[in-house]
Structure 1
Amino acid sequence: MLKKIYLIRHGQTYFNVRGIVQGSGVDAPLNDVGHQQAAQFHAAYAHTPFQRVYMSTLMRTHQSVQPFLDAGLPSEQHRALDEISWGHREGTRITPEEDIEYHGLLRAWQHGDTHLGLPGGESADDVAARQRPFIDEILRGRPDEDTILVCMHGRAMRVLLCQLLNYPLSAMDLFEHRNLCLYRVHYTGSMFSVRSFLDTGHLC
């Protein structure tokens, strides 16, 4: 069984441009650039035989795949795909003081302390735990779907890629991301492999 997963991050939002933390608690829409990115991705992959598109519960992922929805592609939204909750930082502009806290957490994750999170937010372990039922569903519950599109968020995408590729969560920062970037992952029935890494060729 070969399953092809096209994994994209949402398009650009005004909050992305302004350096404001969104996480799962800020439901920001795409800006004009983000809508253009969505149109460019659709133009490049409209003829890919997706059976379904999966997205988070947040508006920016829905808008990023709206051209596919308008074309009638079946869809589902899953909280499992939501961005990590950054707790008390959500909705605030990045400042040097917050950067110290944020980068301290990233260093802790890199050292394996993935159970830690910002005050009021989720840990990397929390995100991984809520993603596992979704992974099981797409791999075992939908055998008729061999080509799917998944739209989600940067940090949550890093966690998901670690789980699919059997990397420790401490390695998640190996998976870079940009707005409307694509990771194409194949599953052969026993293991995953990455066929496209941080692909933004469709945005040229």
Structure 2
Amino acid sequence: MEIVFIRHGQTDVNKDNRLQGSLVDAELNETDGRNYAKKAAANFDENEFDVVYSSPMKRAVETAKIFTKGRKEIKLDKRLLEFDFGDWDGMKMEEIGDKYPDVVDPWGKVNRDYVKYAKNGETYEEFDKRCSEFLDEMYRKYSDKNVLVVAHGRLIRMMAAHYLTNGDMDKIDTMDNCGLTKFEVRDGIARLFYYNRLLA
């Protein structure tokens, strides 16, 4: 199986450096969101893929439609929802860094210990479980096919972490908006071909 992940285009929530999890259903913004996605999609061949999956969130669905140019059925899967930060969803990273510096890593991202304070947030273990269930199902169904998945920055980090670091997402950086990552899986063994490839 060949599986390619695309991170959605930019939203104003991204631009404002806020946590944008599964409770924040923002749309793409115009310039660095829709317009940039269209530029990148012009260099993308949707015909290489046998099946297309997307997170049901607006920013992912719109990005999927742009990249597939209306020529592919898009299957929505709730397992591809972005990480659930609970009460922290929508908070500015500057505010989190000021109040809770112990859960912000050197790259300015929230680490696994954030649930000490955001009690109703998703744990890394819960997140890895739903990502691994999705990946296992893709391999069972499409072991000899090419799969496209349009989703979210933190979710794609966990997908990569599942394959590469036993679910330790803190070892994987967040991709840029509209960045691409490609894995190939043979006999249950995954190899990374590229991470955060930009097409425009």
- Kept after mapping to 2: 8 A contact 1:115/1:125: no
Report the TM-score when normalising by structure 2.
0.85
Report the TM-score when normalising by structure 1.
0.83
Q: Map of 1:1-204 to 2, 5 A cutoff?
A: 3-32=1-30, 33-46=32-45, 48-96=47-95, 98-100=96-98, 104-105=102-103, 114=112, 117=115, 118-143=118-143, 146-165=145-164, 167-200=165-198, 202-203=199-200
Which AA in structure 2 matches 1:121? G
- Alpha-carbon separation, structure 2, partners of 1:172 and 1:81: 19
Deviations 1:141-186 (Å, cap 9, x if unpaired)?
A: 2346x11111111111111111123x13335333331111111111
1:69 CA displacement = 4.8
Moved more, 11-20 or 45-54: 45-54
1:58 CA displacement = 0.6
Change (3 A) 1:175 1:28: same
Query: Which 5+ residue runs of structure 2 have no aligned equivalent?
Result: 106-110
Change (3 A) 1:191 1:115: farther
Report the RMSD for the aligned CA atoms in angstroms: 2.2
Query: Which 5+ residue runs of structure 1 have no aligned equivalent?
Result: 108-112
- Kept after mapping to 1: 8 A contact 2:49/2:147: yes
Deviations 1:108-134 (Å, cap 9, x if unpaired)?
A: xxxxx9586232210111111112221
1:68 CA displacement = 4.4
Pairs aligned (count): 192
1:103 CA displacement = 5.1
- Kept after mapping to 2: 8 A contact 1:21/1:91: yes
Change (3 A) 1:169 1:196: same
Identity %: 24
- Alpha-carbon separation, structure 2, partners of 1:141 and 1:120: 33
1:102 CA displacement = 5.8
Secondary structure class of the residue paired with 1:45? coil
